[in-house]
Amino acid sequence: MALLKNWDVKSTNNEIARPIGNGNVRVYYVSDLGATFGQTGTWLHRIPLINDAPATYGFAASKAKGDPEAFAEEKFIKEVEDGNVSFYQRRLRGRRLVEDVPVTHARWMGKLLRRLSNKQLTDAFRAGGFNNAETAQYVGVLRERIKQLRNL
């Protein structure tokens, strides 16, 4: 979710299920991508009492979802310190979930994501209703972020 800049990151939207009768098989799933592919918040999220308000709260609400320019401008990796990566996220809830990820885990994620072809990424965005220019921008940003993960 850090890669996609989902500002509505919460455990109920991200689960690992173990289907009954399938032994150690795990199914990883994400629901509710509606708050994705934009910016994760505004300067208002630095104010303690409203730092966990939805990204659509306040100024620039139109940039919070499905905005390729805002998505491209969002920082991705905040810092790498003591063998851990913290991903940039403006909302308090989101920050707690994407900080202190071991570098080895982030690099592993980058290796897996590198397997996605440009066609697969393009098809996913086109299926989401994005036009060719928006799709090309999203795919380019994702490729750069995947590269950042691999290079940690």
Domain ranges of the chain: 11-150
Residue 17 backbone phi and psi in degrees, to 5: -110, 150
The answer on pLDDT for 8 being more than 80 is no
Structural tokens at position 147: 């590269």
Calculate mean pLDDT across residues 134-151: 95
Radius of gyration, alpha carbons of the chain: 16
Rounded distance between C-alpha atoms, residue 125 and residue 63, angstroms:
17
Against a cut of 0.75, is the pTM above it? no
Range among 47-56, 80-89, 112-121 rated most confident: 112-121
Non-local CB neighbours of 54 within 8 Å, separated by 6+ positions:
7, 8, 35, 64, 91
- pLDDT for position 143: 97
Half-sphere exposure of 149 (CA within 13 A, CB side): 23
> Are 35 and 5 contacting, i.e. CB atoms less than 8 angstroms apart?
no
Which of these, 99, 79, 98, 94, lies nearest to 152 by C-alpha position? 79
Which residues sit opposite 14 in a β-bridge? 30
- pLDDT for position 45: 46
- pLDDT for position 57: 45
Give rounded-to-5 percent helix, strand, coil for the chain: 45, 10, 45
